[in-house]
Amino acid sequence: MNEELVSTVAKSAEKKHTSNNPYSAPLKLSGITTTDEFRYKTGIGELDNVLGGGIVKGSLVLIGGDPGIGKSTILLQVCQNLGKSINILYVSGEESRRQLKLRADRLGVDSDILIMTETDVEIICEQIKTYSPELVIIDSIQTMNLTQLSSSPGSVTQVRECTNYIMRVAKALEIPVIIVGHVNKDGAIAGPKVLEHIVDAVLYFEGDKQLTYRILRAVKNRFGSTNEIGVFEMTYKGLNEVINPSLMLLTGRPMGVSGTCVACTMEGSRPILAEIQALAVNSGYGTPRRMSTGFDYNRMNMLLAVLEKKGGYNFGGADSYINVVGGFKLDERAVDLCAALALVSSLKDIPIPDDVIAFGEIGLAGEIRSVSQAEKRINEAARLGFKKCILPYYNLKNLSAEVNSSIQLIGVRSVYQAVKAIST
């Protein structure tokens, strides 16, 4: 339980603000004029894609992620590209000017952006009004504070009220603002979750810190689809776009061993191939151990139950593990079949041929159910040189004409048929 002090000062200040605001009077819908929705292209294709085509004028974008994942880095790269044509104010509450300069030098940023190291939101907003930049970056919201509030920076109240304050100023002046928010697991600092409803778009940076690549995902977007992802690689020179993520995820795949299978998942409109590895070994103790990384644990248990009951595979006496290679997370039902095949392959020690790819949802009756966008998945697999595709029977029946003919398609109705298809 956290004690949150209710501040009367903030309340009255808020009231004054709205009554002065010309935007608070009601207006007829037909009376509102819109110029064409204007977007600033960030110059980073993957980021523009996730944003739905660029940063919308007057919008509030939140970029969340673990500390050190690369939020400041990508924003500095945005500054480099956009700073050539527009005025940018970069507010950092975390790093000194010198540190920022050092990072900018490392990333090769030479655009003349305005740098400000300040944590008082009121002062920042004053400066925004004075300089009227065309883009403001706040790094990070957890370091910002409003002096009227008595709670410490990073608390829920501070984070929420600071964002609200910035939002009012930014919306009135139609200046887009990008806010950085750290995700903190131990909960000592209020995370981006408390802001999601306030801002227009929420992007999350994901990735394993030990690995060099990062995935940028939109979880909310008032100006675009939330299904798109961007893939980046962290290098000394900053984040590079990865145009062909499937190839990257599949490099170094072991050949001719059991317990591995390649899945095709859709991330928005983009198909991505990823390797699922499974290990099933005789359990030494009474209760078998189960563990999954990058794959839903409950879904794995369900698949094991279906395989046990409908396929006759004895997983009850085996410890089972699933791992999605490369720190990638698969949360689509269409990867069920691939995970099931990898599990059976490991249990029975039958290697799945290297050029096989599988997708399909598994139902509780052991049936393989059709999935969306089968053509795109097949074509992506064919493009990367796969020769055999195991897919739901109903998908095969309803294929549109335009699939690559270099890949053999095998439609299956049950897990049993799928296992048979890989072992022949």
Ligand X SMILES: Nc1ncnc2c1ncn2[C@@H]1O[C@H](COP(=O)(O)OP(=O)(O)O)[C@@H](O)[C@H]1O
Min dist CB 19 to ligand X, Å, is: 38
CA dihedral in degrees (312, 316, 317, 322; nearest 10)?
Answer: 100
Among 54, 60, 61, 71, indicate the residue that binds ligand X (CB under 6 A): 71
Per the listing, tokens 């990898």 go with 342
Amino acid at 283: S
- Which of 107/338 has CB closer to ligand X? 107
Q: How far is the CB of 386 from ligand X (least distance, A)?
A: 33
Closest of 369, 125, 352 to residue 261, by C-alpha: 352
If one asks whether residue 72 binds ligand X (CB under 6 A), the answer comes out as yes
Report helix angle 415-423 to 336-348, nearest 10. Answer: 60
Residue 220 near residue 201, CB atoms below 8 Å: yes
If you ran DSSP here, which 8-state letter would residue 377 be given? H
Per DSSP, helices labelled H in 276-392 are 297-311, 336-348, 374-383
* Binding site partner of 236, from Mg ion, ligand X, none, Cβ cut-off 5-8 A by kind: ligand X
Instruction: Identify the residue among 64, 70, 192, 327 touching ligand X (CB under 6 A).
Output: 70
Binding mask 80-119 for ligand X (x = CB under 6 A): --------------------------x-------------
Residues that bind Mg ion (CB under 5 A): 72
Task: Let me know: does 380 contact 246? Beta carbons within 8 Å.
Answer: yes
Residues 6+ apart with CB under 8 A from 229: 50, 215, 216, 217, 218, 267, 268, 270
**Closest distance of CB 56 from ligand X, Å:** 23
- 69 lines the binding site for ligand X (CB under 6 A): yes
Does residue 260 belong to the site contacting ligand X (CB under 6 A)? no
Q: Residue 316 binds which one of ligand X, Mg ion, none, with CB within 5 to 8 A depending on kind? A: none
Residues of this chain, 126-165, that bind ligand X according to CB under 6 A: none
- In the set 234, 300, 307, 422, which binds ligand X (CB under 6 A)? 234
Residue ranges in contact with ligand X by CB under 6 A: 65, 67-73, 106, 234, 236
